[in-house]
Structure 1
Amino acid sequence: MLRVTLFCLAVLAVAVYGDVEKDVKNAVNEVTTTKDGALYCPVPLVGTACPSSSFFHYYKCCGELNRDCCFNLQTWVIVLLALLAVVMLASFILSLIRCVLCRR
């Protein structure tokens, strides 16, 4: 009975690992690629011309009937800003702990 249980757990772990690996690859691809923005919203000749995209930002159609150009940051910029915020917050908290605990 124990062998059957261990075998089932091993098969389940392999199946879950395959799905996790695929999800991680998709997430890494999304973060490391830059997106091109929409050139016209909603369509060329009739829509509004959007400004050009850059390495840091892009434009996406939004609003009523997708006729407006909305500014969006690239995914890697958002991840970088989030990491900077976490590092700054951790530094602040550790400095407070050091100040309180290391008083003489």
Structure 2
Amino acid sequence: MYTYVTLAVFVAVAFAANVDTDVKNAVNEVTTTKDGDTFCPVPIVGTPCGSSSIFHYWKCCGTANKECCFQLQTWVIVVLAVLVVVTIASFVLSVLRCLFCRR
């Protein structure tokens, strides 16, 4: 019986350590801003991209990575997703309140 408990504790610790590093990596991804590429594909003969900001950056894409593509920073995507979820939840709760809480 104790061997099963010990095995379960070791497995839980291993998963907790893995989750801890995953959470740290996710938080780092969301809280840091990316610089992006300045030329695509190479500086001398490539296409110059615009400058990055706190809201967006440029990434090389297309055939042979020779085009500059606009990308939103990760934190902007997260904020937009949260706003969409809050808006939808607010609408659904308002409809439910209207339907079930009539006086």
The TM-score by the shorter chain falls in which range? over 0.9
2:79 aligned partner, one-letter code: L
Cα deviation for residue 45 of structure 1 reads 1.0
Q: Deviations over 1:33-67 (max 9, x none)?
A: 00001010000111000000000000000000000
The aligned counterpart of 1:11 is 10
Question: What TM-score do you get using the length of structure 1 for normalisation?
Answer: 0.97
2:41 aligned partner, one-letter code: P
| 1:1-104 matched pairs, under 5 angstroms | 2-104=1-103
In the alignment, the residues of structure 2 paired with residue 96 and residue 55 of structure 1 have an alpha-carbon distance, to the nearest angstrom, of 37
In the alignment, the residues of structure 1 paired with residue 15 and residue 99 of structure 2 have an alpha-carbon distance, to the nearest angstrom, of 44
**Secondary structure of 1:35's aligned partner:** coil
In the alignment, the residues of structure 2 paired with residue 88 and residue 3 of structure 1 have an alpha-carbon distance, to the nearest angstrom, of 50
Question: What TM-score do you get using the length of structure 2 for normalisation?
Answer: 0.98
In the alignment, the residues of structure 1 paired with residue 2 and residue 44 of structure 2 have an alpha-carbon distance, to the nearest angstrom, of 68
**Secondary structure of 1:72's aligned partner:** strand
**How many aligned positions are there?**
103
- Give runs of ≥4 in structure 1 deviating > 4 Å: none
Cα deviation for residue 4 of structure 1 reads 1.0
Unaligned runs of 5+ in 1: none
In the alignment, the residues of structure 2 paired with residue 10 and residue 85 of structure 1 have an alpha-carbon distance, to the nearest angstrom, of 39
**Secondary structure of 2:79's aligned partner:** helix
CA RMSD of aligned residues (A): 0.5
Identity score, percent: 61
**Secondary structure of 2:96's aligned partner:** helix
**Secondary structure of 1:59's aligned partner:** strand
